A = this chain, B = another copy of it.
Amino acid sequence: MSSAHQPPYFLGLDLGGTNVKGGVVDDTGQTFPSVSQLTRATLGPESGINTLAEVARLAVEASGLDWKDIAGVGLGSPGTMDLGEGLLLDPPNLPGWQNFPIRKKLAERLGKPLVLQNDGNAAAYGEFWIGAGRDAESLVMFTLGTGIGCGIIDHGRLVVGRHSNGAECGHLVIQMENARQCSCGAYGHLEAYASATSLVRRAVEALEEGTPSRLQEVWSKGNLSSRTIAEAAEAGDALGRTLMRETARYLAIGAVCLMNTIDPDIVLFGGGMIAAGSILLDDIKRDVKSLAFPIPAAKTRIEYASLGGAAGYIGAAGCARLAHSSHASDPNRLLTS
């Protein structure tokens, strides 16, 4: 434990379909080493509570602090959820965890105040607190992976919504007619165009049509992914470049919709797809400039997130800190048990 760390200390947990991550963060946002374990979600929620408790124990151990030093715990989880009640409702990434009172169960198990937050919101809050958005007052973050997660902070406050459906901006409708189907079943959503899954699907469509590309060989070997498509684009492959260019335009449209709704200081993109590097970010920036109104186009920063996969647990710890210190009237306060 570094002497530079300042109490109180908060434990952040990031519950994903594959892994549970956890780590302690101090009052100033300085982190301690993090830990990770497989979720094994199919074993069900009671087993999941055991895993979360084990990650919590290991994370505090890794911090060198005592358990009693932890002032509160934040848990980021995939939805759907009821934040007011502290319930998981029907989370697609956690099969068998329906209607599970996760906040109460985990708070009892850990014996600490616990705040539940949506994973997209938690990641956005992490970037807002100590990441690429640390100088911002308002922030929008898109997490680009299998789907598209989102989190919004408006003047320092998470936009959680009134039915725990705030910041589900992967499901903005950006195309009404002849629209692609989203993983959620509806049509024309941002996620159906710009997620890693959609990028690969669009690549397969072009490759099936016989478009010449070095991606034909990658595809035949079963190695087609957002990463190999971005690599082909970087190496000058025309199809790869077209696919990444389209992706940037879709993401720019998503950014502009939020610039005309929330009007943040900064729009961040995080998640696995940002491994594509500056080629994607530069394309997004160019399209935002041409699609947005002049003032937000000139003033809104468009950047990559900086915390990688740590944003979730760091932000969850930040939400615990927020609940610890905020007024009773603050909606972010209401998520605690």
Interface on A for B, CB 8 Å cutoff?
A: 80, 89, 137-138, 152, 154-155, 157, 159-169, 171-178, 184, 186, 249-250, 253, 256-265, 291, 293, 295-296, 299-300, 331
Contact = CB atoms under 8 A, between A and B. Distances in A.
Given A165-B259, A172-B260, A257-B257, 11 more contacts: A154-B159, A155-B157, A161-B262, A163-B296, A165-B295, A166-B262, A171-B293, A174-B174, A175-B176, A177-B177, A186-B291
B165 A293 contact: yes
A137 B162 contact: yes
29 contacts: A137-B162, A138-B162, A152-B261, A154-B154, A157-B157, A159-B262, A159-B263, A161-B263, A161-B264, A161-B296, A162-B299, A162-B300, A164-B263, A164-B295, A166-B261, A168-B260, A169-B260, A171-B293, A172-B172, A172-B257, A172-B260, A173-B174, A173-B253, A173-B256, A174-B175, A174-B176, A175-B176, A176-B253, A261-B261
A262 B155 CA distance: 14
Number of this chain's copies in the assembly equals 2
A178 B177 contact: yes
A191 to B, nearest CB: 11
A23 to B, nearest CB: 29
**What does DSSP make chain A's interface, helix, strand, loop or mixed?**
loop
Contacts of A259: 165
Contacts of A331: 155
Contacts of A169: 260-261
Closest 4 interchain pairs by CB? A161-B263, A165-B263, A166-B263, A168-B260
A263 B176 contact: no
Given A186-B291, A293-B168, A162 B263 contact: yes
